[in-house]
Amino acid sequence: MHFLLLSIACSVAVSVLFKLARQAGIDLRQTILLNYALASALCLGLLRPDLGALLHQPGLPWPLLVALGVLLPAVFIAMASSVREAGIVRSDAAQRLSLIIPLIAAFTLFGEALLLPKLWGIVLGLAALGCLLYKPTSTKQVASTQGWRYLLAVWLGYGLIDLLFKRLALAGAGFASALLLAFLLAGALLLAYLLWRRANWQGRALLLGLPLGLLNFGNILFYIRAHQHFSQSPALVFASMNIGVIAVGTLVGALVFREPLRAVHWLGLGLAMGAVLCLLP
Predicted pLDDT of residue 188: 92
More confident site: 216 or 117? 216
Q: In this structure, is residue 112 part of a structural domain?
A: yes
pLDDT at 58: 65
Domain membership of residue 224 as a residue range = 2-23+66-172+215-279
Position 214 pLDDT exceeds 90:
yes
Answer whether residue 144 shows pLDDT above 60. no
Reported as a single tens digit per residue, the pLDDT across 153-179 is 888 898 898 788 777 766 554 667 777
| pLDDT the model gives residue 38 | 94
Instruction: Identify whether the C-beta of residue 155 lies closer than 8 Å to the C-beta of residue 217.
Output: no
State the DSSP string of 110-144. S-----HHHHHHHHHHHHHHHHHT--PPPTT----
Q: Give the closest residue to 210 by CA, choosing from 32, 9, 10, 18.
A: 32
Domain total of the chain: 1
Q: How far apart are CA 124 and CA 129, in angstroms?
A: 9
pLDDT of residue 69: 87
Kindly compute the dihedral angle of the four CA atoms of residues 251, 257, 260, 265, in this order, to the nearest 10 degrees: -20
What is the arithmetic mean of pLDDT over 259-272? Answer: 76
Position 34 pLDDT exceeds 90:
yes
For the beta carbon of residue 154, count every other beta carbon within 10 angstroms: 28
Residue 139 lies in a domain: yes
pLDDT of res. 141: 45
**Please, which residues have CB within 8 angstroms of residue 265's CB and are 6 or more apart in sequence?**
131, 132, 134, 250
At 50-97, the pLDDT tens digits run 766 556 656 667 788 788 888 988 887 777 677 666 655 566 666 777
Is the confidence at residue 142, as pLDDT, over 70?
no
pLDDT range class, residue 145, cuts 50, 70, 90: low
Q: Output the pLDDT for position 55.
A: 63
Domain membership of residue 251 (yes or no) is yes
Most confident of 40-49, 161-170, 233-242, 256-265: 40-49
Cα 36 from Cα 19, distance rounded (Å): 19
Is the residue at 140 inside a domain?
Answer: yes
Q: In angstroms, what is the C-alpha Rg of the chain?
A: 19
Query: Average pLDDT over the chain, rounded to whole?
Result: 77
Does some domain include residue 56?
no
pLDDT value for 187: 92
* Among 93, 91, 100, 154, residue whose Cα is nearest residue 125: 100
179 within a domain of the structure (yes/no): no
pLDDT at 33: 92
**Nearest in space to 8 (alpha carbons), one of 171, 184, 252:** 252
* DSSP secondary structure of 172-214: GGGHHHHHHHHHHHHHHHHHHHHHHTT----HHHHHHHHHHHH
Question: Is residue 13 in a domain?
Answer: yes
3-state helix, strand, coil in the chain (%, to 5): 80, 0, 20
d(CA 263, CA 204): 39
| More confident position, 240 or 145 | 240
* For the chain, percent of residues with pLDDT exceeding 70: 77
Residue 16 has pLDDT above 70, yes or no: yes
What pLDDT score was predicted for residue 52? 65
Examine residue 235 and state whether it is found in any structural domain, yes or no.
yes
